[in-house]
Structure 1
Amino acid sequence: MMQTVSAQQLKFNKHGNFKIVQFTDLHYAAGAVPSAKSIKMMESTLESEKPDVVIFTGDVVVKAPTSKGWDEVLDVVISRNIPYIVTLGNHDDESEWSRSQVADYLSKKPLLINNRASLQEVDGVLNASIAVMGNDHKAAFTLYAMDSKAYSQVDGIKGYDWFGFNQVNWYLKESAKIEASNGRVIPALAFFHIPFPEYGIAFDKLANKRIGVRYENEGSPIINSGMYAAMLGRKDVIGTFVGHDHVNDYLVDYYGIGLAYGCFSGSENTYVRDKNGARIIELKEGKKGFHTYIREYDGNILNRTDFPFKKQ
């Protein structure tokens, strides 16, 4: 069951370029004075970067009134006519609405690309595979939106939830279907909130090339259901982008897949890094790789790099 874009198709521009802005962990609360910092940062980022799509990777609106919070956040992109993708975090359903209620509300918002609230027999909400079309009118890249859910639902296991087996199977089927439809493996990026366990494993191995910082341990689930292994086997995903851990912003190479954090986009509604900002990801049509950097609220650029990393 493939989730595709109908009302708003993503595509590379005539120069073969495509730009993504990732916002994560806004922890937005309508009416809260600190939240205005997030709105200001988002506005300046979009005016400067002019992305083709914005991707929110969870913990976006965490306080009631939920609808007003989402309206205020999304107005920043909708008013600029920028299509966007939303994945939820572990805090998005801790206020007045359930996860499904949040997804149902978002599914009716204009310009949302992954606008199907749920998929039959697939855990979570807003899971989607989205094609970025090339200038030859064929799929050139895939963007996967995945719900990493919230907290463990298994008695006796504490901590965060993990991708369900049906989500892993959904990804495998989607990836295979995309390859069959195009006659080749289409490169892909995946976006979700909670890092899977391979993040910490990869960063701990000093031989792995990396850029950026880790200032807290990864808040990963203790159960590994195999999503990374599935991506490694399918050979389409070249980068994954998460949030969740506010003071981590690294990108590390793990067997050819770039495991990356976004940049904390929130404010003093929660614990913070020195400056909030966004991760920028640039794709080039026909190239299996990406260029990325962090843009802080004042325009300062950090950790500009290409992935795969250049060989030394």
Structure 2
Amino acid sequence: MTRRIVRTGCQLAVFAVVAFFFVLFLDNYYFVLPQSIHNHLPLHNERLIITDITVQTCSALNPLNKCMLDPDKWHRIDKDLYLNTGWVNKAFVHIKRKSEEELTEDDKVIVDVRIQKLDPAISEKAQASEKWESRPAKLWLKRSKKRHASDGKNTVTAVDVLFGADAVEPRLGWQLVNGALRLENGENKEPRLSIRRGAPVKIEREKQVPRIRKDGKFKILQVSDLHLSTGLGACRDPEPPGHNGGKCDADPRTLEFVEKIIQEEKPDLVVLSGDQVNGETAPDSQTALFKIAGLLAEHKIPYTAIFGNHDDEGSLSRNAQMSLYQSLPYCLAEAGPNELAGVGNYYIEISAHNSRHSALTLYFLDTHAYSPDENKYRGYDWLKPDQIEWFRNTAEHLKEAHKHYTHIHLDMAFIHIPLPEYAVEGQQRVGEWKEGVTAPGFNTHFKDALVEHGIKAVSCGHDHANDYCAMSQNANKDGDLWMCYAGGSGFGGYGGYGGYHRRVRVFEIDANQAQISTWKRVEYGDTGKRLDEQVIVSAGKIVAPQQ
């Protein structure tokens, strides 16, 4: 009997320990990440006014503590300020908010936010009625009692959290507060507040779609596999080894490279062709995504985006990221039809310079991530029948409208994971094939659909060290297309294949000649050269490579 009691007691103790850590896991996983997916959505109601902000810190060892203030009064921004790395503590920003109609004469509204050690009033000539109020984590608020302050341009109407010294805020009407919140105990993830003042700025997306230039040219910069992180990121396989004294922060070096190419090539459109976010190193995917979006917004360049296999391995799903993209200036990306597999199946029409007719159609498709049937088809996923049917129907539907264009209409497509045909031996190829083609094991023959509907080139990412354009041996006949790689651009992703330099691909369309040319630019080495420059389409027909 005694042994049974002891055994039962031990079992209960073991059960209690397991339950403790299970609940702790759920608390860290469920209560932060899934809700943070929607973090950018609930705070943007243009009728809400922020009346208070605070930081709540609690023990990470107590599974029963949800680290929440009274939910009837406070809204929690569900991003752990320690990014779930704090063994001792976790912390969350909480805000109070009211609609304009709910504000009373006695309510205070926030008109300024600072993060610093000392009271900002010490260095400012603050009026007695506008004292700064202290909050945890060195947060200071200036709040006004004026009833009509909510009508002013300084009133804070939304709050968000981003991370890292290199965080940027690309959303119109938003700005980062200088400095990071000061937390104790735990690795410093440099959580930063971003605030919006006034009503949301509405983006007129149709006005941002570019046209063929006056000279008949249109330039596309394809940037693939950025692999951006939360924070500066660590370089993988930097080339050359030891460059810059061995110091290499992945994201700053990657973005500096992209910016240099933007300044030199002056593209009309940038295509982000997947793996913008490195899921493993991006516990806050929003921060990572905003870095490239901020750079493109700064240069006022329209851009599109599709997803790779790593984008949604961080804190945000494809749907949540697409929602973010669509809230940003200069972004032309679309979620596509809800009934289709994947997120980001859409097309964009580029009009002629002096005409409303389309001169160029660009198709974008989601190639998903990993194989749904590893036992039968190892590796990566494939385009689904409904996506291929959507492409066929869309291309067929657009043919009638394209007939009214007075020149030869051109079509291109962009995906992330290469098609199986990229790996066919005996191809005519221009560029380097340095690693295996990690295409899906199952071939849906999407290439046949592309050829059938007149697509002249399809370009992908995914295999960082492959940068060739290829076509099959029947290139001199009608009925083929070019299959190109962009090459990997980001130092957060691998590049260790024989001194590989990060690179991007450029496509230049000459609408007057119905011509497509392409070349590559590299981050190190022959940085000023166009590598493997070639004409792939002329007079609307495929051009075989020179032997």
Partner of 1:261: 485
Letter in 1 for 2:208: Q
Letter in 1 for 2:288: G
Deviates more, 1:302-311 or 1:217-226: 302-311
Equivalent residue in structure 1 for 2:259, among 24, 36, 43: 43
Partner of 1:24: 224
**Does 2:388 correspond to 1:163?**
no
Partner of 1:151: 370
Partner of 2:347: 129
Equivalent residue in structure 2 for 1:238, among 453, 456, 461: 456
Residues 150 and 268 of structure 1, relative CA distance in 2, 3 Å threshold: closer
Partner of 1:66: 285
**Does 2:480 correspond to 1:280?**
no
Aligned residues of 2:254 and 2:491 also touching (Cα < 8 A): yes
Aligned residues of 1:57 and 1:89 also touching (Cα < 8 A): yes
Deviates more, 1:226-235 or 1:83-92: 226-235
Residues 272 and 57 of structure 1, relative CA distance in 2, 3 Å threshold: farther
**SS, match of residue 129 in structure 1:** strand
**SS, match of residue 288 in structure 2:** helix
**SS, match of residue 119 in structure 1:** coil
Partner of 2:211: 11
* Mapping 1:201-212, distance limit 5 Å: 201=424, 204-205=425-426, 208-212=427-431
* Cα distance in 1 for residues equivalent to 2:403 and 2:252: 47
Aligned residues of 1:179 and 1:186 also touching (Cα < 8 A): no
Residues 102 and 165 of structure 1, relative CA distance in 2, 3 Å threshold: same
* Cα distance in 2 for residues equivalent to 1:284 and 1:79: 27
* Cα distance in 2 for residues equivalent to 1:155 and 1:41: 37
* Cα distance in 1 for residues equivalent to 2:506 and 2:399: 27
Measure how far apart 1:54 and its partner are. Answer: 0.3
Measure how far apart 1:17 and its partner are. Answer: 0.3
**SS, match of residue 281 in structure 1:** strand
Measure how far apart 1:230 and its partner are. Answer: 0.5
* Mapping 1:215-226, distance limit 5 Å: 215-226=434-445
* Cα distance in 2 for residues equivalent to 1:306 and 1:84: 24
Measure how far apart 1:119 and its partner are. Answer: 1.1
**Does 2:416 correspond to 1:193?**
yes
**Does 2:517 correspond to 1:291?**
yes
For these two proteins, the number of residue pairs brought into alignment is: 302
Letter in 2 for 1:198: E
Aligned residues of 1:82 and 1:111 also touching (Cα < 8 A): yes
* Cα distance in 2 for residues equivalent to 1:268 and 1:127: 26
Deviates more, 1:98-107 or 1:32-41: 98-107
Deviation by residue 1:97-154 (Cα, 9 ceiling, x = unmatched): 222222222121111112x324132111121111111134111111111111111223
**SS, match of residue 150 in structure 1:** coil
Letter in 1 for 2:504: A
Unpaired segments ≥5 residues, structure 1: none
Measure how far apart 1:286 and its partner are. Answer: 3.8
Partner of 1:178: 398
**SS, match of residue 140 in structure 1:** strand
* Cα distance in 2 for residues equivalent to 1:246 and 1:131: 28
**SS, match of residue 10 in structure 1:** coil
Residues 310 and 251 of structure 1, relative CA distance in 2, 3 Å threshold: closer
Equivalent residue in structure 1 for 2:544, among 280, 297, 309: 309
* Cα distance in 2 for residues equivalent to 1:250 and 1:269: 19
* Cα distance in 2 for residues equivalent to 1:176 and 1:18: 24
Measure how far apart 1:155 and its partner are. Answer: 6.2
Residues 311 and 35 of structure 1, relative CA distance in 2, 3 Å threshold: closer
**SS, match of residue 400 in structure 2:** helix
* Structure ranking higher on relative contact order (CA contacts 8 Å, 6+ apart): 1
Measure how far apart 1:269 and its partner are. Answer: 4.4
Q: Flag the structure with larger Rg.
A: 2
Equivalent residue in structure 2 for 1:104, among 307, 310, 323: 323
Deviation by residue 1:16-52 (Cα, 9 ceiling, x = unmatched): 0000001101111132122211111011000001100
* Cα distance in 2 for residues equivalent to 1:196 and 1:21: 21
**SS, match of residue 517 in structure 2:** strand
Deviation by residue 1:181-213 (Cα, 9 ceiling, x = unmatched): 222783211111000111111xx11xx322101
* Cα distance in 1 for residues equivalent to 2:325 and 2:368: 16
Deviates more, 1:87-96 or 1:301-310: 301-310
Aligned residues of 2:214 and 2:353 also touching (Cα < 8 A): yes
Letter in 2 for 1:49: E
Computed over aligned residues only, the root mean square deviation of the Cα atoms, in angstroms, reads 1.8
* Cα distance in 2 for residues equivalent to 1:268 and 1:121: 34
* Cα distance in 2 for residues equivalent to 1:289 and 1:220: 29
* Cα distance in 2 for residues equivalent to 1:118 and 1:144: 11
Letter in 1 for 2:422: Y
Partner of 1:53: 269
* Cα distance in 2 for residues equivalent to 1:269 and 1:229: 31
**SS, match of residue 102 in structure 1:** helix
Aligned residues of 1:99 and 1:125 also touching (Cα < 8 A): yes
Q: TM-score, normalization: structure 1?
A: 0.91
Partner of 1:228: 447
Aligned residues of 2:463 and 2:487 also touching (Cα < 8 A): no
Aligned residues of 2:229 and 2:492 also touching (Cα < 8 A): no
**SS, match of residue 162 in structure 1:** coil
Deviation by residue 1:230-284 (Cα, 9 ceiling, x = unmatched): 111112x100110100110000123430100002101154334622121011000
